[in-house]
Structure 1
Amino acid sequence: MKNIQLVFLVILFGIASADIIINKQKRCQCPSFIKSECEKWYDCKWSETSCLKKECKDYTTEDKCSGDCQWKSGKCIDEKKECEDMPNEESCSNLAGCGWKDNKCIEFTNCSDFLVSKAERCNVLQSENGQRCQPKVVSVTTLREKHLVVANGFQCENKVYQDCSKFVSEATCKGDATATAKCQWKNDGKCYAFELKTCRDADGFNQMCDPKYCKKDGQLCVNRSCSDLTTQALCTSLPKIDNTKSVLCKWGTDNKCTNAIDATHLNEQTCNDITFGSYHWVTNTCQQCASNWILSIMSLIILVAFI
């Protein structure tokens, strides 16, 4: 038992001294916000003394009426959009899991069931199990044949992925290897399925060390750090490679940017903005929302219990 407690304390100490990771997908709930924060978020509204989550009826424009809401007869109502509610091919193509067929919007069936007016609309079709589509390649030799294809529509078919290893030159090393990876030429003279999940994945691939997340260190591609940010204006946060999280940065008295170990340097104006809404201003300090840190602590307790 003592060993478990020791491990738990070590983990908690590690958290206290670790970098602050901002999860952009874990925004605070509307009731957590003070008035100035509440007014920044389109799905929140200030009501006399508190911040509340908006209801469907609170959205007055169609572009904000989304999710479990639907725009009908000039109003946003509490009704989730279904394929059958989409009035035209364009709106149908923009709703996940739907496709345009026989002048109506239906739930996705098979790629080959759909004939679309624009080739790129085949690319957005997708089944629930992840099967993607592509426009069927049609050989045309004359301008008249091209016009006929456009007039008749583009037939969709199942997405065909490339076997990157079959390409023997940099010029031919192209195409999608999977739903998330593309064929890319490596310095060893071979073609590989490439996907940037960590900066080190780009070792040996020309031009693939994305400067937004990574930096070159000789022949290696490594993570950027807050110390790479050279001005106070830029020293706010640094996005991680999946772009759903960021590392919080802090500008020091030595005029250098470092990784922040807490959010106490943020004020009422910057607290909510720089943390993408995952922190809020409370009792004159910038704090992580309770729902977020409680989940983190609970996860740790469960982890320690099984050690």
Structure 2
Amino acid sequence: MIAIIYILLLMDLSFAAISTSAFCECSEFKTSIECAQQYNCKWSTSCKDKICSDFIEESECDRASDCAWNDTQKKCAQFTSCSNYKVNQASSCQLKDATCIAGDPNPDGSYICQNGTILCSQISDQKLCNSDLYQSQHEMCTYSSSSCQSVDISKCSTITEQFICTSLKCSWSVTNLSCLEGTCSSYSSPDMCSYVSAESIGTKILCKWMDNSCIEANDVFALTSSNCYINTGGSYAWIDGQCKECHSTKFGVLVALNAIFSVLLALML
């Protein structure tokens, strides 16, 4: 009887879906190819974090921690203070640092950034509201019902906008017009079958393609050096000839969005 129970437990474990909240830091990439796919990493005998001066694109610079693009000098450097930055779009101020907001527009349409806090409800311009502004780490601004509102994006179930829901790999219910935990079965092609979001944004459920359907994965043996990172949403890397889970777990909403950004870049390479 004990032997039967033990076998049944092993069977349950073998079919357990893989759930992960890890993400890969630069030092965990062991191949130059995977390293080069990361906007914040560089290869020099090993994979290392870029410093601010390594970024040559404004969008990548402003996403990097403690870095900001100086439009006057046309270069990326360590963030100093909000008032030192002039931008062409009001939403760009928050990209410099979470403490920055746009001041009044200049005659030429540009803005000087200033210290401040974003309140979605005080934004009247629809375009500005929908330009990836964050009221807090877990609250994103979105224009809905003729006003700018904050949306809690810490969980699938609290998201009220379809685009945000599907962008974060949750599943949108057309019947109930609500956002639900992601399901592998919602994908109908092997190219899309990679991972979905659990209820808590930042935790991912891995998927795999088998018998012409997308199901929850119980292993990553089929992944290769070319798709290990991409198909796990940035949680696994190719290490010592195997697809292995990375060690860092400081995975939050903004990290999740940056990971999606990195994966999209990797897909375009």
TM-score between both structures, scaled by the size of structure 2 = 0.59
Partner of 1:44: 41
Partner of 2:259: none
CA distance in 2, matches of 1:130, 1:243: 10
CA distance in 2, matches of 1:221, 1:122: 24
CA contact (8 A) 2:228 2:236 kept: yes
| Bigger relative contact order, structure 1 or 2 (CA pairs below 8 A, ≥6 apart) | 2
CA deviation map 1:140-195 (0-9, x unaligned): xxxxxxxxxxxxxxxxxxxxxxxxxxxxxxxxx945696228xxxxxxxxxxxxx9
Residue 264 of structure 1 deviates from its aligned partner by 1.9
Partner of 2:258: none
CA distance in 2, matches of 1:255, 1:30: 35
Residue 52 of structure 1 deviates from its aligned partner by 0.8
RMSD, matched Cα: 4.8
CA deviation map 1:237-272 (0-9, x unaligned): 2344666443211122x3333211122221111101
CA contact (8 A) 1:213 1:240 kept: no
CA distance in 1, matches of 2:245, 2:199: 22
Aligned pair count? Answer: 214
CA deviation map 1:107-154 (0-9, x unaligned): 22798xx9x9x9458758887799999xxxxxxxxxxxxxxxxxxxxx
Q: SS of the residue aligned with 1:277?
A: coil
Q: Map 1:76-225 to 2 at 5 A.
A: 76-77=76-77, 79-88=78-87, 90-96=88-94, 97-101=100-104, 104-108=112-116, 119-120=125-126, 123=129, 174=145, 179-180=150-151, 213-215=171-173, 225=183
- 2:116 counterpart letter in structure 1: F
- 2:54 counterpart letter in structure 1: D
Q: Map 1:258-273 to 2 at 5 A.
A: 258-273=215-230
CA distance in 2, matches of 1:213, 1:221: 6
What 5-or-longer segments of structure 2 have no aligned partner? Answer: 1-10, 95-99, 107-111, 251-269
* Closer/same/farther in 2, CA of residues 279 and 266 from structure 1, 3 Å limit: same
Partner of 1:279: 236
Sequence identity of aligned pairs in percent?
27
CA distance in 2, matches of 1:227, 1:75: 45
CA contact (8 A) 1:215 1:224 kept: no
Residue 71 of structure 1 deviates from its aligned partner by 3.3
* Closer/same/farther in 2, CA of residues 287 and 106 from structure 1, 3 Å limit: same
Partner of 2:204: 246
Q: SS of the residue aligned with 1:290?
A: coil
CA distance in 2, matches of 1:91, 1:69: 18
Partner of 1:75: 75
CA contact (8 A) 2:156 2:179 kept: no
* Closer/same/farther in 2, CA of residues 196 and 176 from structure 1, 3 Å limit: farther
Q: 1:59 aligns with which of 55, 64, 70?
A: 55
CA distance in 2, matches of 1:176, 1:287: 45
CA distance in 2, matches of 1:221, 1:102: 37
Structure label with greater radius of gyration: 1
Partner of 2:184: 226
